[in-house]
Structure 1
Amino acid sequence: MKVVLAGGGTAGHIEPALATAEAVRRADPGAEVTLLGTERGLETRLVPERGYELALIPPVPLPRRPSPDLLRLPMRVRSAVRQTTDVLRAKEAEVLVGFGGYVALPAYLAARRAGVPIVVHEANAKPGLANRVGARFTTFVGVATPAITLPHAQHVGIPLRRSIALLDRPASQAEGRAFFGLDPSLPTLLVFGGSQGARRINEAVDGSLDQLLEAGFQVLHAVGPARAEAASAASRPGYVPVPYVDRMDLAYAAADLAVCRAGAITCAELAAVGLPAVYVPLPHGNGEQRFNALPTVSAGGGVLVADGELTPSRLAAEVTPLLGDRARLDAMGAAAATLGRRDADDRLVDMVRRAAAQKSVGG
């Protein structure tokens, strides 16, 4: 297969694209895989690190409200579509897989112009504009949960890194705790707020830390790169602050409970590995993070706390009874796991192969 993946911009778009790229290569070791991105996205670092070719196109940010940028949008779209069409033709693409975001809209329009079959993957509970457009051009639409509404949607889950999709948390707990220098026997709270950390969550942990440690718990806290120096100075027995977690699989294995945002990837990973969580949705955008967490929370696999309500006392009140109740944690983890999909990458690749076969048949 010759596949082009449009998944640039944020980690929420890039990671599923890279997981899909790896699954394409497993299914077809000779496959030619190219990822589309922009100069301003994380893909400029992540894609080459994983060994994939990256083709850059101009970013096309979609204004949320009337502004001068809205007037310039048609010209930007035309330029990006033209350059993306050149990439598709140069790569002789047999299928275009889009994951939403800045890169996906021109990619869908270019693929339609070039006659390249399209596969759409939507991770968020509320689909963005790019995927709402792309879903009109294809019958191959994969979604993270059954509740996502798009034409021709099929529930496949979210493609995840293999280290997480294949993780056996209980079997890897000792390794995870040793990796981060944690006590092998203490109930463990994992706190993270995305690649940059989350100020509200960090402040709540700072204010409740003494109470958590006195209760006999330990905390692995990804504070974000901006707080790296301060985090190092704050380290003490029972509290392990780190700027960023590169081995999320081992962090999940080490933890009994998480406190985190509710990005689509985070929700999918926690469900796949069966780790209960206190979700604190980012209060921006169209409210999609709250909707991302709701299926797990409704199933009993997590707790939802509004960002504005996350004080140190509220954090301690939510976390302390959970970490002190092994049976409840196990029940919550089992409930979360009922929503997890560990084979989403293979499911999506099956869709990609069917789309590519359609082009082959159609000539």
Structure 2
Amino acid sequence: MNKKIMLTGGGSAGHVTVNIALIPKLKERGWSIGYIGSHNGIERELLSQVENVPYFPISTGKLRRYFDWNNFKDPFKVLKGTFEAYHLIKKEKPSIVFSKGGFVSVPVIVAAWLNGVPTIIHESDITPGLANKIAMPFATKICVTFPETLPHVNEQKGIYVGAVVREELKQGSADKGRKHCQFEKGKPVLLVMGGSLGSKRINDALRANLQTLLADFQIVHICGKGNIDPKFAAEKGYKQFEYVHEELPHIMAMADIVLSRAGSNSIFEFLTLKKPMLLIPLSKGASRGDQILNARSFKKSGYADVLMEEELTNDSLREAIYQLYRNKANYIENMTRSQATDALHTLLSLIEETSKQ
């Protein structure tokens, strides 16, 4: 059997990290791997650090739910990307395509269908995003992270697999994390993450409370590209990073509590590591509302507290952080009882089965 797979997905780190988690396991099973992404997306940057996975860039456009003049140009970019992906897949002859979503994946899934190559989509959120909605009719299987997602997809194609969490995140060392951040042992650590692009509102509210919070916490702040504030560079107990790669498992291991957006991949990583979390989902005005649904699901399960962006003020953020820390034992107990599935193994088996169809 030709054990060659094409991975795709991009636009945000969440659409890439699952693919990166799959790559070493696929290699162990003898798969030859290629990656189709955009010319300038974050997926290209992240894949540049992965050895022996050729990267194939194609044209892509963003399909928006709102009016924008680019809506008139971008469908032509998608068509061009489909043409490029069609010829690429025809030349490379993969036996299967696996997609994590994002707009770059739409032309790839359509091109695979045109070539008669089976495809698997993995949907992270409770309700499918626009890119996956467009691609789903052309997919062979649709894997979902939340059981609540199954009614939103074709029942013949839909499979609940759960969340894929990178194995290396489970191997973190709190001591190495403290050493990397020059933190002392014994004082609680607050980890703040605003998603791969950062969050100005979260960053600003956190920094407005910095002096108060530093009396009780050491803070590691992954603030997003271009969001480091030099005014706080010398602040003891406060470390800022634009983005973290190799050190992330260690930083997560040392964290006592987490303040984060509510992207599916991140919150399931925190759940796996049993990190009590305060979630501030992207507002409906800035997104389609998927993070709000993710956050509500985690709050209902007792894994997280939620502060809506509309209610985010300097005072409300400070109070919510202290409340989370006071109740952290309850969240850890609830997370210990969670019925997490071995999604990585399930997906690998599904890839093997579907590639033979």
State the TM-score, normalized to the length of structure 1.
Answer: 0.88
- Inter-partner Cα distance in structure 2 for 1:182 and 1:276: 20
Residue 127 of structure 1 corresponds to which residue in structure 2? 128
Q: How does 1:5-84 map to 2 (within 5 A)?
A: 5-26=7-28, 28-29=29-30, 31-51=31-51, 52-84=53-85
Residue 112 of structure 1 corresponds to which residue in structure 2? 113
- TM superposition shift of 1:74: 4.7
Question: For the Cα contact (< 8 Å) 1:231–1:242, is it kept in 2?
Answer: no
Change (3 A) 1:80 1:113: same
Query: Is 1:329 aligned to 2:328, yes or no?
Result: yes
- Inter-partner Cα distance in structure 1 for 2:123 and 2:305: 24
Equivalent position amino acid for 1:259 in 2: L
Which structure has greater helix proportion?
1
- TM superposition shift of 1:121: 0.7
Question: Tell me, what secondary structure is at the counterpart of 1:226?
Answer: coil
- Inter-partner Cα distance in structure 1 for 2:201 and 2:277: 16
Structure 2: unaligned runs, 5 residues or longer: none
Question: For the Cα contact (< 8 Å) 2:276–2:324, is it kept in 1?
Answer: no
- TM superposition shift of 1:66: 4.8
Residue 277 of structure 1 corresponds to which residue in structure 2? 277
- Inter-partner Cα distance in structure 2 for 1:205 and 1:69: 35
- Inter-partner Cα distance in structure 2 for 1:174 and 1:331: 25
Question: Tell me, what secondary structure is at the counterpart of 1:131?
Answer: helix
Q: How does 1:175-194 map to 2 (within 5 A)?
A: 175-194=176-195
Bigger mean CA offset, 276-285 vs 218-227: 218-227
Question: Tell me, what secondary structure is at the counterpart of 2:209?
Answer: helix
- TM superposition shift of 1:353: 0.8
Change (3 A) 1:160 1:61: same
Residue 150 of structure 1 corresponds to which residue in structure 2? 153
Count matched residues. 347
Q: Percent identity?
A: 27
Equivalent position amino acid for 2:267 in 1: C
Question: For the Cα contact (< 8 Å) 2:121–2:141, is it kept in 1?
Answer: yes
State the TM-score, normalized to the length of structure 2.
Answer: 0.90
Change (3 A) 1:75 1:268: same
Cα RMSD of the aligned pairs, angstroms, is: 2.1
Bigger mean CA offset, 172-181 vs 79-88: 172-181
- Inter-partner Cα distance in structure 2 for 1:251 and 1:278: 17
Question: Tell me, what secondary structure is at the counterpart of 2:11?
Answer: coil
1:125-151 per-residue CA deviation (whole Å, 9 max, x = no partner) reads 221233223332344211111111322
Question: For the Cα contact (< 8 Å) 1:234–1:241, is it kept in 2?
Answer: no
- Inter-partner Cα distance in structure 2 for 1:58 and 1:188: 42
Pick from 135, 159, 162: which aligns with 2:164?
A: 159
- Inter-partner Cα distance in structure 1 for 2:25 and 2:167: 9
- Inter-partner Cα distance in structure 1 for 2:227 and 2:111: 42
Equivalent position amino acid for 1:23 in 2: K
- TM superposition shift of 1:342: 6.7
- Inter-partner Cα distance in structure 2 for 1:96 and 1:59: 17
Question: Tell me, what secondary structure is at the counterpart of 1:147?
Answer: helix
Equivalent position amino acid for 2:282 in 1: L
Change (3 A) 1:322 1:46: closer
1:234-266 per-residue CA deviation (whole Å, 9 max, x = no partner) reads 422x33333333322112111111111111221
Change (3 A) 1:4 1:300: same
Change (3 A) 1:233 1:272: same
Bigger mean CA offset, 73-82 vs 298-307: 73-82
Question: Tell me, what secondary structure is at the counterpart of 2:46?
Answer: helix
Residue 343 of structure 2 corresponds to which residue in structure 1? 344
Residue 361 of structure 1 corresponds to which residue in structure 2? none
Question: For the Cα contact (< 8 Å) 2:12–2:42, is it kept in 1?
Answer: yes
- TM superposition shift of 1:225: 3.8
Bigger mean CA offset, 58-67 vs 346-355: 58-67
- TM superposition shift of 1:338: 4.5
Change (3 A) 1:161 1:113: same
Residue 308 of structure 1 corresponds to which residue in structure 2? 310
Residue 219 of structure 2 corresponds to which residue in structure 1? 219
